[in-house]
Homo-oligomer: A and B are copies of this chain.
Amino acid sequence: MAEIGDTAEQVLDVAQRLLQTRGYNGFSYKDIAQALGIRTASIHYHFPTKADLGVELAGRHRRQFRAALDRVEQRTTDPIQRLERFVDLFRQTFEVESRLCLCGMLSAEIATLPEPVAGAVEGFFSDAEEWLADTLAAGRKAGRLRFTGSPRQQARLLLAVLEGAMVVARGMRHTEHFQDVVAGHLRGLLSPQSSIKH
């Protein structure tokens, strides 16, 4: 309880930040070592190869994301609020240094990654899609949300909006861009009576 987590976890935290800002091929063991004030050999002790590190990063992220969704479900049963909390997870990520979604970044670089990493990325998106589809379906059934097509299709669309808004906001170097685009899309999902509150 004295130090902030063991070395392996600190390595993962720094590597995750570097991954989200620079990409998998945009950082090295040297970068991590310098950030933590240790040697690269120490990192190899915990993660023998960079592929091992990548697999653990993607897997941990998927687990943390599922845990975050579980907390959202425990906090509220309201579909609108659940949706807003989901979007908040992405907003909070981008808010800090315009960090990309970890799996969005990995998707872009997927052709250069070991297969297990690609598998974890696919799993992350599947989790997100399923959770969103269920939430969207509940919201529409309750007359609180309005959209055409299947909940699954809408879930995929929202995921694309979130990932794409991060990418475009970064490319245009205009931070507020993300929030504007996402808020605009959400407004279109809310039924007439629900959108009065804004």
Say yes or no: A181 contacts B168, CB within 8 Å.
no
Spot the interface stretch: A69-77, A79-87, A107-115.
A107-115
Which residues from B are CB-within-8-Å of A51?
none
Give CA–CA (A153, B178) in the complex, Å. 11
A188 CB–B CB distance under 8 Å: yes
Say yes or no: B180 contacts A156, CB within 8 Å.
yes
A53 CB–B CB distance under 8 Å: no
A106 CB–B CB distance under 8 Å: yes
Which residues from B are CB-within-8-Å of A136?
none
Give CA–CA (A60, B157) in the complex, Å. 30
Give CA–CA (A188, B146) in the complex, Å. 11
Minimum distance in angstroms from A155 CB to a CB of chain B: 10
Which residues from B are CB-within-8-Å of A157?
161, 181, 184-185
Spot the interface stretch: A1-9, A37-45, A121-129.
A121-129
Say yes or no: A165 contacts B168, CB within 8 Å.
no
Which residues from B are CB-within-8-Å of A15?
none
Minimum distance in angstroms from A18 CB to a CB of chain B: 9
Which residues from B are CB-within-8-Å of A103?
171
Minimum distance in angstroms from A129 CB to a CB of chain B: 8
Say yes or no: A108 contacts B118, CB within 8 Å.
no
A167 CB–B CB distance under 8 Å: yes
Closest 7 CB pairs of A and B: A164-B164, A107-B171, A160-B164, A163-B164, A25-B25, A160-B165, A26-B112
A34 CB–B CB distance under 8 Å: no
Which residues from B are CB-within-8-Å of A154?
184
- Given A109-B26, A112-B22, A160-B161: A180 touches B168 (CB 8 Å cut-off): no
Q: Which of B126, B168, B185 contacts A107 (CB 8 A)?
A: B168
